[in-house]
Copies of this chain bind each other. A is one copy, B any other.
Amino acid sequence: MDRIKIKAVLERVQENSMTVPEALETFTSLPYENLDFAKLDTHRMLRTGFPEVIFCKGKSTAQISEIAKKLADLKQPVIATKASDEIYQAIAGVNGKAVYYDVARIVAIGKIESKKKNKKILVITGGTSDIPIAEEAAVTAELLGGDSVERLYDVGVAGLHRLTGEIQLMNSADAIIVVAGMDGALASVVGGLTRKPVIAVPTSIGYGSSFEGLAALLTMLNSCAPGVAVMNIDNGFGAGHFVARLN
């Protein structure tokens, strides 16, 4: 794309429909919006096929709703993660189409409409407490373009038969997202039962020496079954985005 853009400019220079200084200017004026406190990477949609996403932690509600409004005005899909109900209210105040996925804690306006719809994603959790992160992954994948997402929740290794009965379901997916806290052993087990790529998301569920998810993170990184790649602790969004890129 960069090449196409440059080529177009070069041709206009060649045919003298654009001066050299104008051309020069073009190269530095890549499309991003200046919001005083934030430079929106509106160019990202073109470059990577995915819009910029608002990570709500550490930003004020006012900042978030202003960014959301700007993106929506530019006809870009809006996705805000780790969003509280208060943040949803603020965004809904500036754009009536805002939707709140409360378990996933995501606010969205619009979504990416994908032409091909063939990838199937399976999201598995070890326990009930892991569901919010799993939903963050599932909703992200759905918003970012047409993945068909199936859920299989609360099937941790303490009751292995809940899992071994679902091998066919696993092998029918194109990729599997495994969300688990505590010992994080679920990722290894799924990786050993199936031939599909596993994206593992450790959660901060647990106590004591789980060290806010560190134990699960290390377990998953050291999976004795190959085929497991790992996201940051509680980073459901990251897993959803990763599988969206498989399309």
Contact = CB atoms under 8 A, between A and B. Distances in A.
Residue of A159, A162, A181 with most partner-chain B CB within 10 A: A159
Interface residues of A, number: 114
Number of copies: 8
Contacts of A10: 10, 13, 20, 23-24
A168 to B, nearest CB: 6
Interface string A41-60: 10110011110110101110
Nearest to A193: B160
A197 interface: yes
Interface in A136-171: 153-162, 164-165, 167-168
A21 to B, nearest CB: 9
A37 B246 contact: no
B228 A230 contact: no
Contacts of A235: 207-208
A90 to B, nearest CB: 16
Contact of A20 (B14, B204, B222, B226): B14
6 contacts: A13-B14, A29-B165, A39-B159, A58-B129, A185-B224, A208-B212
